[in-house]
Structure 1
Amino acid sequence: MVILNKADILIAIDTFDQVNTGQISRLKELGLSVRLNETGRILDYENNADIYTDIKYIIAGLERYDEKFFNQFPSVEVISRIGVGVDSIDLVAAKKNNVSIYITSDKPSVAVAELCIANMISLLRNTYKMSNDLKEGRWHPIEGNELRNCTIGIVGLGSIGKQVAKRVYAFGSRIIAYGRTWNQQFADKYKIKKVALQNLIKTSDIVTVHLPFEEETKNIISKQLIENLAPGAVLINTSRSGVIDNLALKEAVIKKKLSGVAIDVFDEYRNISPWEDVENVILTPHIGSHTKETRKAMEETAVSNLLVHCKLSKEFDHKKKAKLELSLRENKVNIL
């Protein structure tokens, strides 16, 4: 095992501070020692045990934190995650080991929503196909469709789903939605009709999925539902791969039941299976939140969550500290 210098904080995400947010300097100026992930990949604690040794606080990405991890590294007190999903963290084991978990709440919402809109328009207007045609010497204009004439089905009307709704409303689209939580005031403002998931699937021109991955939502977009999608529909997934039966979705695309799909999330990091060589598919490498503005906001929030939790907040005046402590309560993952 490599012996590393003692550190208070592990920055587990290898892309941290790439847009020069100044967060590493911020931590060091407060007297905290920082250990970085310099592997260029997602950490695996079983293969990178030396990196986690004696760490108290973790600024986390998509790494796996299961019961074995918490038992192996009892020094860990806080995991402050950059992002909103916690499907890679065993929350029961975290609670058992008195580890506090924080997320960056609604920070990625606008960036993810904008990616959804970009994919909607690209799929409707076939711009991605025509770009490839031109590069291969084919001048082949393809007639498309307009977003204003589409029925948009939003699966999951949480923070990201709401941002998508605001944007498609501006295009004049008809909006229907399925959500486990529901804000009627918001729905009334943007003329959103609440429907059952089965009805949404059958009647939407575009289905966009915004659900967390948990036992309740695993394969919620099932093979049966996919078979009931409207002919020529478009499906977009920027949430988690596990909420959709991807093999059934692939089959529907190959059989041309759907006009196209856009996928930003996969079962494994850097593994795009089962989408290799499938036409009418837009693939992106989990970039939903990857804008300069959003990465900056997420990194700042993840660090602030950690600092306020640990009361290392000399840099915050009274008013800002009170606001941050309120934000901290909102970002804390409550474990039942």
Structure 2
Amino acid sequence: MTKTTIAVLDDWQDVASGVVDWSVLDPLGQVSFLHDYPADTATLAERLKDFEVICVMRERTLFDAALLSRLPNLKLLVTGGMRNAAIDLQAANKQGIVVCGTQSYKHAAPELTWALIMGATRNLVAEADSLRAGNWQIGLGGDLHGKTLGILGLGSIGKWIARYGQAFGMKVIAWSQNLTAEAAAESGVTRVSKRELFEQADVLSVHLVLSDRSRGLVDAEALGWMKPDAWLVNTSRGPIIDEAALIDTLQQRRIAGAALDVFDREPLPTDHPFRTLDNVLATPHIGYVTRNNYQMFFSQMIEDIQAWHAGAPIRVFS
């Protein structure tokens, strides 16, 4: 019996093979771990053309109609999480490709968000670098207690950030297109207008799902409403913020700075300003990169493959 060819993509850190026991798939097929970064469509098509099952990590690689049409052997596409904007579901369904997902460990992204807030406001990286260089204190950190935390998008992650802010004695305000005053009040948060959110926040944290409605929502006008000593934090998706407008704002020092884990293009180009601006704390999209989250992703990817192979796929995207 011919074995199924299975690829685990986007294993940039070379950790996927050791997080869970993939040998349980040995009776079904041969698993290959690929560590390359995404490339152009032709390169990806050549790289992936022989695989029947492909496991992808979140939205690292774009599976659009152009790529899917060049993967005639692909029968199952499995993604970490139950949402992946990088997969063209309509094109996949048209080709008869089953797309399945996994659950997520819910605490990883909120914890990273708060780490960035603390790291940025207390100038932790620069102070740690100073110590390593043989020096001592070099500046003044900021306080959170008594300050205003603005949350753009009070969903599941935004609500965790609200709890953290409240635990630190912050006033918490929020806005999104669909947020009501009643829903905000249930989390002890005050619903304000978009402009009031940007004007009042000492720390403004973005927690929206990327969509046509949210793309570019944080534009030059909104950035211009912010306080000169305010911080902008984004652990959601890069394109929610107008990148060119943010770079200009940071270069002109019209706000204190930004703490960013997500970007328009990932991996971030080596010559990108976010790598060198001294008022940016940037991390390489590690909000979901934790052992607990990877164990959940990969273990459920294995379950998805087993269920599909048995003829009863689970966690199927509609």
Moved more, 185-194 or 116-125: 185-194
Q: For 1:293-304, list aligned pairs within 5 A.
A: 293-304=292-303
Would you say 1:59 and 2:55 are equivalent positions? yes
Structure 2 residue ranges without an equivalent (≥5): none
Distance verdict in 2 for CA 1:89–1:268, change over 3 Å = same
Distance verdict in 2 for CA 1:300–1:148, change over 3 Å = farther
Partner residue in 2 for 1:86: 84
AA aligned to 1:300 is S
Partner residue in 2 for 1:279: 278
2:174–2:184: 8 Å Cα contact kept in structure 1? no
Deviation digits for residues 225-283 of structure 1 (CA, Å, limit 9, x no counterpart): 11111221111111221111122112222222211211112222332423132112111
Partner residue in 1 for 2:67: 69
Partner residue in 2 for 1:131: 128
SS of 1:63's equivalent in the other structure is coil
Would you say 1:224 and 2:231 are equivalent positions? no
Deviation at 1:164, TM superposition (A): 2.0
The structure 1 segments of at least 4 consecutive aligned residues displaced by more than 4 Å after TM superposition are 180-186
Distance verdict in 2 for CA 1:150–1:101, change over 3 Å = farther
Aligned-residue RMSD, C-alpha: 2.8
Distance verdict in 2 for CA 1:192–1:276, change over 3 Å = same
Q: Among 45, 48, 51, which residue is 1:49 paired with?
A: 45
Deviation at 1:183, TM superposition (A): 8.5
Structure 1 residue ranges without an equivalent (≥5): 314-323
Partner residue in 2 for 1:254: 251
Distance verdict in 2 for CA 1:102–1:207, change over 3 Å = farther
AA aligned to 1:68 is A
Deviation at 1:211, TM superposition (A): 2.1
Deviation at 1:220, TM superposition (A): 1.1
Deviation at 1:17, TM superposition (A): 4.7
1:231–1:257: 8 Å Cα contact kept in structure 2? yes
Moved more, 124-133 or 256-265: 124-133
Q: TM-score, normalised by structure 2?
A: 0.86
What is the percent sequence identity of the aligned residues?
26
Report the Cα distance in structure 2 between the residues aligned to 1:104 and 1:186, rounded to whole angstroms: 28
Distance verdict in 2 for CA 1:54–1:277, change over 3 Å = closer
SS of 1:177's equivalent in the other structure is strand
Distance verdict in 2 for CA 1:11–1:150, change over 3 Å = same
Aligned length: 312
Distance verdict in 2 for CA 1:151–1:82, change over 3 Å = same
Partner residue in 2 for 1:269: 266
Distance verdict in 2 for CA 1:59–1:186, change over 3 Å = farther
AA aligned to 2:302 is V
